[in-house]
Amino acid sequence: MDISIIVPLYNEDESLPELVAWIKRVMDENGFTFETILVDDGSNDNSWSVIEDICAKHSFAKGIKFRRNYGKSAALHVGFQTAKGNVVVTMDADLQDSPEEIPEMYRMITHEGFDLISGWKKKRYDPISKTIPSKLYNRTVRAFTGIKLHDFNCGLKAYRKEVIKSIEIFGEMHRYIPVLAKQAGFKRIGEKVVQHQERKYGVTKFGLERFVNGFLDLFTVIFVTRFGKKPMHLFGTLGTLMFLIGGGMSIWIVVAKIYAQFNHLNYRPVADQPLFYIALVMAIIGVQLFVAGFLGELVSRSSADRNHYLIEKEIGD
pLDDT digits (tens, 9 = 90+) for 162-182: 999 988 887 778 888 998 899
Is 310 a member of any domain? Answer: no
Question: Which of 227, 244, 263 is a domain's end point?
Answer: 227
51 and 18 assigned to the same domain:
yes
182 and 247 assigned to the same domain:
no
Check pLDDT > 70 for residue 190.
yes
Is 313 a member of any domain? Answer: no
Residue 126: band (very low, low, confident or very high) from pLDDT cuts 50, 70, 90: low
Is 315 a member of any domain? Answer: no
Closest CA to 89 of 18, 34, 144, 135: 34
169 and 238 assigned to the same domain:
no
Is 307 a member of any domain? Answer: no
256 and 160 assigned to the same domain:
no
SS3 of residue 77 by DSSP: helix
Contact (Cβ atoms closer than 8 angstroms) between residue 160 and residue 204: no
Question: Which of 207, 227, 247 is a domain's end point?
Answer: 227
Is 258 a member of any domain? Answer: yes
Check pLDDT > 90 for residue 206.
no
180 and 158 assigned to the same domain:
yes
Question: Which of 227, 247, 276 is a domain's end point?
Answer: 227
252 and 131 assigned to the same domain:
no
138 and 264 assigned to the same domain:
no
CA distance 158 to 314: 26
CA distance 127 to 132: 9
Is 317 a member of any domain? Answer: no
78 and 48 assigned to the same domain:
yes
Is 309 a member of any domain? Answer: no
Contact (Cβ atoms closer than 8 angstroms) between residue 108 and residue 192: yes
Per-residue pLDDT, 174: 87
57 and 205 assigned to the same domain:
yes
Each residue of 267-290: b (16+ CB within 10 Å) or e?
Answer: eeeeeeeeebeebeebbeebeebb
Residue 14: band (very low, low, confident or very high) from pLDDT cuts 50, 70, 90: very high
Is 314 a member of any domain? Answer: no
CATH number of the domain that 12 lies in? 3.90.550.10
Which residue segment(s) compose the domain that 182 sits in?
Answer: 3-227
206 and 174 assigned to the same domain:
yes
User: What is the signed CA dihedral for 118, 121, 122, 127, rounded to 10 degrees?
Assistant: -150
- Give the helix/strand (H/E) hosting 24: helix 16-30
Check pLDDT > 70 for residue 238.
yes
Number of domains in the chain: 2
218 and 161 assigned to the same domain:
yes
Percent of the chain exceeding pLDDT 90 equals: 47
Residue 203: band (very low, low, confident or very high) from pLDDT cuts 50, 70, 90: low
264 and 199 assigned to the same domain:
no
Tens-digit pLDDT profile for residues 51-88: 999 999 999 999 999 999 998 999 999 999 999 999 99
